[in-house]
Every structure is written in C-alpha cells, then in structure tokens.
Chains A and B, each alone.
Chain A
Amino acid sequence: MAWTRNVLRVNLTNGSITTEPLNMQWANDYLGQRGLATKYLVEETDPTCDALSPDNKMIMTTGPLTGTMVSTAGRYSVVTKSPLTGCIACSNSGGYFGNEMKNAGWDMVILEGKSPKPVYLYIENDKAELLPADDLWGKSAWETDEQIHAKHQDPLVRIAVVGRAAEKGCLFSAIVNDLHRAAGRSGVGTVMASKNLKAVAIRGTRGVGNISDPTKFFKASEDGKKVLAENAVTGEGLPALGTQVLMNVINEVGALPTRNHREVQFEGASKISGEAMLEVRESDGKANLTTNGACFGCTIACQRISTVDKDHFSVKDKPQYHGNSGGLEFENAWSLGSDCGVDDLDAITAANFLCNEDAVDPISLGATIAAAMELFEEGAITVKDTGGMELKFGSAEALLWATEVTVRGEGFGKELGQGSKRLCEKYGRPELSMTVKGQEFPAYDPRGIQGIGLAYATSNRGACHLRGYTVASEILGIPEKTDPLATDGKAGLVKAFQDATAVVDSAGICAFTTFAWTLEDIAPQIDAACEGDWSAERCLVVGERIWTMERDYNLAAGITGKDDTLPKRLLKDAAKTGPAEGRANDLHKMLPEYYEVRGWTLDGVPTDETRSRLGL
C-alpha cells in the first residue's frame, strides 16, 4: 500500500473539484510521484500543447514513501510541460509541503484549465476549495505565505506559492513551499501562474498508514538511516557544509563554470564556499550560517539557514531580509557567484533570498544574468537596454539589481526572465547561451567532468544535474570512482544514474540519499512499505520505463535527438586552466554509445523492441 490511492482533480476553468481512485495498474508500473504523474500527464494531455495554455495540466504529486519514517521521505514533485524548454518538466521539492499533502490523503493533485480570476487552492484533508486570491496577486511568495497563514490561523498550514516573477511571465519561475524550499526548475511556477493559481495551501491531519509490512519497514528504514549516518558525505559533509561542501572541490577539479563558462575555475571560489559560510564576519561577529536544518523526515539535514550582514549594501535598511532564511546551496552559490564572477558572499546570499521571496529558479537566473553580463561586455547589451546599470562580471551591485528586476518582473528584468536562450537570441549572440533545450546549466562544467556533459545533453528536462548525477562517481567516487576526463563507459554510467534517479524521484525520497544509498538500500524500503515485490531489479526496470516514457513525451513534443547537444563553447573551446586544461567535452564519443545502451536508434528514438520490453 503506502499510497493513499486518492487523486484530487481540480478544474480551474469551471471550479469543479472531484476525487478519483489512483490508477493502481499505473502505480505498479511507475511507482509514484515523478513516474506516475508523468504517466497521467502523458495520458491526459497533448505534448504539443502550449505550456502556458489551459490545455497544459500541472500535477502536484507525492511518492509512496512520502510521509513515512524513511529518511528524507517528505518530497513532492510538480509535473507539467515546461514553458522554458517545451520538454516534460518535473521539479522536486522538500520542506514540509509534500508530507502535508500526503497527510491530507492525496497521492496527487491534478490541476487543469485556467481560472477566470486569481485563486488559491485550500485543502484540509478531504475538503478542498478554491478561494479568491485577488488580494494576493501581485504579492511576493513570502507575503502570500504570511497572508494565507493569517487567514487560516494555523502555522501548520503548509503552502506552495508563486511569486511576482511567475505572474509577470518569467519562464524560470519556481514554486516555493515553506518559504525557502522550491520545485525550482523548468518554469513550473510559470505554468501555475498561467492558470491564475497563486498558491496551494494544505493542512493534513489524517496520517499516513497502510504500511505493507511494518516490521520489515522499520528494520529497512532504520538500516537506511544508519547507512546515511555512517557515510562521509551524508553523515558529515552535508550536515556540516551543505551542498556547498562541493564549491572548493569542484573548483579544484577545474569544473566550476566561471563567467558564463568562459573559464572553469573561479579565483574567488573559497570566498563563497561552504567553509566561508562558517567564518565569523568582522562586521557583526556572526557567521553567514546560523545552523543546518532538515526537510521533513530528513536525517541528513543539509539545509543552510543563513543571515546577511544587516549593514551589507544589499539589505541595508531592509529589515525584511535581516532574519534567518534559506541560505546558499552549491548551485545557487555557483550560479549567482562564480558564473557571474561575484565573490561577495553576502550579496549572493541576499540575491538567493530574493529568489526565494519571489519564487525564481536561482540556477537559471544566475546563468541568465551571467549570459547578460557577457552580452554586456561584448557590447550586445548596453546601458540603454539596462536603464543605466553596468552589467559587468564581478559586480555585486549588478547582480542584485538584475536579480531584483527579474524576480519582480520589472523593466529589463522581463527580458532576463525569458532565460538565457531567448535573451542571447534576441541580442544576436545565440552561441553565448549556456543551455540545453533552453534550460540553463547547473554548476558543473562538462569539460572538466565529461560524463555530466552527456547527462546534460540527454536530460529529459534540459540541462540538469539531477537527472543523472555522474559527478557522484566521476568526482566523489560514489558508488565507484571513474575518471572525470575519460569518456569510456560514461554512456552506461549516465544511463544507470538516470534510471536510478527516476526511481528515487518516484518514491518520495531525496536524491541526496544516493550519495550513500544505492538501489540495494532503497528497494527494501519501498518493498516493505508497498504492496508487491519491489526488488532492486524491478526498480531499475521501472526507472528505465519512466525515462523512456519521458523521452517519448519530448519526441512527441517535437524535441528530437538533434537537441541532445551542448553549446559550441563546451564542445570546441578548451578549458584554459586546471586538470582539464586543453580539453573540451567529447560528447560525440559518448552519445552514440548512449543511444545504443538505451536501445534507441541513432537518431535517439526508442526502438519498438525497447518500448515493448518496457511495456510502453
């Protein structure tokens, strides 16, 4: 069991709210969350639809383990068609929202159509209603969260919300829950706002039960927690330094994209690293990091809870930013930091607060600002476009300004909000956009880490590290060390990571567990919680089925093998420094082999045989 077996369907166009049983045949084939919701989307929508039209649907979904005592099992995902990439979008978030949805009794909330007026969805167990949000429209995610909490008089209502960016059409808008956790990538927040849906607020008090075999379950989840606690990354590195444990490591291996990927090492990396967040500031005697925190059920606790120096220019006389809030993860520190050439920790933290306040993906934002900075330095963008701001690499003032106008959808910020691809095309320099399928890169340069280049090129949601985190193997040696500069064997490695991650994302747990857990650790926990036999082998097949289904969606949406590529800069311009000096990414050596191990044609289309083997 473990699933609640209940689906809530909300038609925003006519305001009808209905319930239906979960399709258990599909649950057996796709497990839950990412896989299962994608199956629903595939069955119910036309992949060629306009992502921002009422024809697109948006599904909020939990996994079978969500809300149980399995470590990190508080996750939910948002599945929809991305307005940024045109691909399938699936963004995953922690915090407490996912558990609340599960406790309210829902595996899935399917949102259809478009409301004639701004509304928010309030769910209290089996009661769900659309409430007017006219007074919330135009408000930041943080203000909206506060107002909804005040209205319902319950601090334990958990809220997922979009900010001003999404309302203004920023294509990489996120959905923020619990103030600083986010379904971050691919513009899922933009889709939500396009439906005139400002927020989903949930209070769930029904409990999560239906554990198939409680004795086995507690044994398996205990074992799992022990593995996490004893692992160097999940037991020590992540709690102490968060994902920011990686900043110095990735810089040293020459894979830290800097100044829009012009370079692969950043001279200021140590100033914006996890270690730097622990250093006491001279100005106010406090460290950037106050403490680490956990998402629901997480025994790793990698969250950063941080402050910005009250006297720093970015927040001076703005008391709303003086308290603690979600601090820097490696991705945000990289995108807002080294990719823009900025080494001012306070400024980056403040920019990150702004991203949370208005629910924007900081990876795409930072990378787009980085592209704009290069366009500015190349003269393609001028102060006439920016209204006077000198968008120079390294300028913390420029970073804060660009962040603020983008998250609020003002002036030049509306252009930045279209993302790097559209921005660079508009200003005549498409080659400066560091994107795959229109989505900006995360924090690993594929010249210094070859396998991640293949993962980016083939990721079903555009450039993304969380679809196949080969960095674990290529840099950290998890589960076994491979040479980051080699291309041999990377096709199989990428496939293995992609399929395993699809399972993790479908179960209700966090991808970061895979620093310590393999499917051998995860499968027994799913098996004990869910009906049926969930061996690691079956899980892998489910993962491959999910991946291939997503690929088919993208193909149907018109995204083909031709789009499985990287920007010219990464394929042609060699790294200038570090261990990868002289190397570009050798995607051409890996891609054909990847198609082969996947059982796809040379054009990247799954063969009939592959589809039938996977039951597609």
Chain B
Amino acid sequence: MLRSLQIEPEKCTGCLQCEMACSYQAEGVFNPSKSRIKIFTFHDEGRFVPYTCTQCTEAWCLHACPVEAIVINEATGAKEVIDDICVGCKVCTIACPFGTVNYNQETAVVQKCDLCGGDPECAKACPTQAITYVDSDHSGLERMRAHAAQNLPQDNA
C-alpha cells in the first residue's frame, strides 16, 4: 500500500518545525529556505497552509527532465532527483505546474520532496498532526490532486 503525505491546513500553526526537519534531513542544517515542504501564510485570513510535492501521477518534472535525473522510487512512489545526474537546467522547475520543484543556486541542482525514502521527517516533526503520512486511499490527497489538476490536460501516458 503506497502512503502519502496528508496535509490538513486547518491544524497548521505556522511553526515551521517541518521546514527545519526537512532541511536538516536533506542538507544537514536547519534551513527553512532549503526545505522541500513550505508553509504559506495567509495573514489576512489567519491561515497557514503547508504544501509540497504530491508525487502526482502526471510527473511533469520527470517527463520534462532532459537527462533522466528524476526517477520514480518504486517503493514509495516518490519522484526523486538524482543529484549526480541533474545538470541544473531547471526545465523541471518551470514544468511542474504546482511549483514544488525548486532550483538551489548553491548546489546548482534542483530539489523536491522525496518522502525521505518512506519516513518523512516533516510528518514526524509536526506538533499538531497537520502533516501526517497515511495510506494513500485515506489521505484525501487524491481529491486534492484532482482538484488542483482538474484543468490540466491529462495527456500523459
């Protein structure tokens, strides 16, 4: 059974523990600017919304990559960037319609959520269970994806 990150924004307090956990796992330092998950703040509305790659089946980033640097981890379903192969051309960053692949100018490769190989640090660090890692069927993620992508052409194979 594949698992997915379930995000419930109404539980998020904007503490950014997830961003610290993510960046520490990926970069070895606490550095929210390098986090693969991001909290977006809606100040006037009083809301915080965590958002990261949904590991969408369309895999726009993977298909746009000219050098096969993004591959599917069969165990987790995550689309993972292989740093050694990525040349840093950034085509995936403009191809991902969700804006969840980012170019890192310091490392000169792109970065995205890889589900930490199946044990996502963000979910473990979240103090309010706004981010949980659950069976995909129960996550509501499909609905989220469907809604987010409803107008995108379903032209993938």
Binding site for B on A (CB under 8 A): 67-69, 71, 96, 99, 103, 155-156, 179, 204-209, 225, 229, 290-299, 301, 303, 305-307, 323-325
Contacts and interface: CB of A to CB of B under 8 A. Distances in A.
A156 B32 CA distance: 10
Given A103-B30, A290-B45, A297-B17, 13 more contacts: A68-B30, A103-B33, A205-B31, A207-B27, A207-B30, A207-B31, A207-B33, A293-B14, A294-B15, A297-B20, A299-B15, A323-B45, A324-B46
A294 B47 CA distance: 11
A96 B14 CA distance: 10
A206 B31 contact: yes
A69 B23 contact: no
B82 interface: no
A209 B29 contact: yes
Interface in B1-53: 10, 13-17, 20-21, 23-24, 27-34, 41, 43-48
Nearest to B23: A207
A179 B27 CA distance: 30
A104 to B, nearest CB: 10
A306 to B, nearest CB: 8
B125 interface: yes
B127 interface: yes
A293 B47 CA distance: 9
A297 B21 CA distance: 10
27 contacts: A69-B17, A69-B21, A71-B127, A96-B16, A99-B32, A103-B33, A155-B41, A205-B34, A206-B29, A207-B23, A208-B29, A209-B28, A291-B10, A291-B13, A292-B13, A293-B14, A294-B13, A297-B16, A298-B15, A299-B15, A301-B127, A303-B13, A305-B46, A323-B43, A323-B45, A324-B43, A324-B46
Interface in B46-82: 46-48
Contacts of A290: 45-46
Nearest to B38: A156
A207 B29 contact: yes
A295 B30 contact: no
Contacts of B21: 69
A2 B125 CA distance: 20
B125 to A, nearest CB: 7
B43 A179 contact: yes
Given A69-B21, A69-B125, A305-B46, A296 B15 contact: yes
Nearest to B33: A205
Nearest to B42: A324
A291 B47 contact: yes
Contacts of B16: 96, 99, 296-297
A19 to B, nearest CB: 20
Nearest to A325: B43
B43 to A, nearest CB: 7
Interface centre among B20, B23, B45 (most CB of A within 10 A): B20
B48 A293 contact: yes
Contacts of B33: 103, 156, 204-205, 207
Contacts of A324: 43-46
A398 to B, nearest CB: 29
Interface string B95-136: 000000000000000000000000000000101100000000
Contacts of B31: 103, 205-208
A69 B13 CA distance: 15
Contacts of B41: 155
Nearest to B10: A291
Contacts of A71: 127
A497 to B, nearest CB: 26
Nearest to B124: A222
Given A294-B14, A297-B20, A69 B30 contact: yes
Nearest to A67: B30
A295 B14 CA distance: 7
Contacts of A69: 17, 20-21, 24, 30, 125
Interface in B132-152: none
A325 B16 CA distance: 19
A298 B126 CA distance: 10
A71 B15 CA distance: 9
A268 B15 CA distance: 33
Nearest to A304: B46
Most chain-A CB neighbours within 10 Å: which of B10, B15, B128?
Answer: B15
Contacts of B46: 290-291, 293, 305-307, 324
B128 A301 contact: yes
Nearest to A239: B13
A324 B33 CA distance: 26
A456 to B, nearest CB: 32
A393 B7 CA distance: 48
Contacts of A156: 33
A290 B20 CA distance: 26
A326 to B, nearest CB: 10
Closest 7 CB pairs of A and B: A207-B31, A323-B44, A207-B29, A324-B46, A294-B15, A290-B46, A209-B29
Contacts of A207: 23, 27, 29-31, 33-34
A452 to B, nearest CB: 30
A71 B14 CA distance: 13
Contacts of B15: 294-299, 301
A292 B12 CA distance: 9
Nearest to B20: A69
A225 B14 CA distance: 16
